[in-house]
Amino acid sequence: MNDRWATLLDAARDAHALVPALQEFCPFPTDIREQSVAAHHDPLCDAMANDTRLTTDHFTAFRDALIAAGPLGQWRDTYRHTSIGEVLHAHFGTYEFLGRDAPFGTDQMRGFMVYQTPGYHYPMHHHPAEEIYLVLAGEAEFHVEGQDSRVLRPGDTQFHDTNQPHALTTHNTPVMAYVLWRGDLTTKPVFTHPEALT
Ligand SMILES: [Fe+2]
């Protein structure tokens, strides 16, 4: 196991201990097994590593561990095949480090690093898994269909219920978040209003 993965696991465990909302959503997994995962590079990995605007007070170690492990991660192409896929993936990147297809295998949850560059709106989407976002660095505006939008900063969390449509807008700063899934861990997200995408 690469040291960078081990450092990241420690940082994630610390976050679960530090943030009650994470602990309530999902205790840190107890069934972790090491798995080999083929790295899949994404240009956003380099953008994230060079981004000086990912400021944070309390999650410096977690942020730095996510950046350091970035080149080892299997960055996802979830929406690459869609009409807005290339644009979306030029601004939004993610890799999994806890879960089914991750270096730390577990059946109890999935845990992702999410990074979005400034000035992008990631459209409404939904999935059966329940989800919580913990903002680690930067900030973003979170939207849940039918609710007022909220700007989240490091330490803030946002819960999404099963199939509850949600979206994410960055303005002048990027955002890095730790995203956890529980429940249905296999069904992929889909856009809520695909007909509205251009
Ligand atoms: Fe989501």
Q: What is the pLDDT at residue 181? A: 98
Q: Output the CA 103–ligand 1 centroid distance in Å.
A: 21
Closest among 11, 82, 75, 12 to 38, alpha carbons compared: 75
Q: Parallel, antiparallel, or unpaired for β 140-144 and 104-105?
A: unpaired
Q: What is the pLDDT at residue 1? A: 78
**77-91 pLDDT tens trace:** 988 888 899 999 999
Q: How would DSSP label each residue in 109-131? A: -EEEEEEE-SS-EEEEEE-SSEE
**121-170 pLDDT tens trace:** 999 999 999 999 999 999 999 999 999 999 999 999 999 999 999 999 99
Q: Output the CA 88–ligand 1 centroid distance in Å.
A: 14
Q: Output the CA 127–ligand 1 centroid distance in Å.
A: 7
Q: What is the pLDDT at residue 149? A: 98
Q: What is the pLDDT at residue 12? A: 98
Q: Output the CA 68–ligand 1 centroid distance in Å.
A: 24
Q: Output the CA 132–ligand 1 centroid distance in Å.
A: 8
The encoded tokens of residue 81 equal 């095949």
Residue 120's pLDDT band, with cuts at 50, 70 and 90, is very high
Q: What is the pLDDT at residue 196? A: 87
Q: Parallel, antiparallel, or unpaired for β 92-98 and 110-116?
A: antiparallel
- Asked if 133 and 158 count as a contact pair (C-beta separation under 8 A), the reply is yes
Alpha carbon 25 to chain centroid, angstroms: 15
Q: What is the pLDDT at residue 78? A: 87
Q: Output the CA 82–ligand 1 centroid distance in Å.
A: 17
Residue 94's pLDDT band, with cuts at 50, 70 and 90, is very high
Q: Output the CA 165–ligand 1 centroid distance in Å.
A: 8
Number of domains in the chain: 1
Q: Output the CA 140–ligand 1 centroid distance in Å.
A: 14
Tell me the CATH number at 19: 2.60.120.10
Q: Output the CA 197–ligand 1 centroid distance in Å.
A: 18
- Asked if 115 and 92 count as a contact pair (C-beta separation under 8 A), the reply is yes
Q: Output the CA 58–ligand 1 centroid distance in Å.
A: 24
Q: Output the CA 161–ligand 1 centroid distance in Å.
A: 9
- pTM of the full structure: 0.96
Closest among 101, 73, 75 to 90, alpha carbons compared: 75
Q: Output the CA 179–ligand 1 centroid distance in Å.
A: 8
**19-70 pLDDT tens trace:** 999 999 999 999 999 999 999 999 999 999 999 999 999 999 999 999 999 9
Q: What is the pLDDT at residue 79? A: 86
Q: Parallel, antiparallel, or unpaired for β 104-105 and 33-34?
A: antiparallel
Residues 6+ apart with CB under 8 A from 124: 143, 145, 165, 166, 167, 191, 192, 193
Residue 86 belongs to what domain range?
3-196
Closest among 162, 33, 47, 157 to 107, alpha carbons compared: 33
Q: Output the CA 176–ligand 1 centroid distance in Å.
A: 14
Q: Output the CA 78–ligand 1 centroid distance in Å.
A: 12
3-state secondary structure of 197: coil
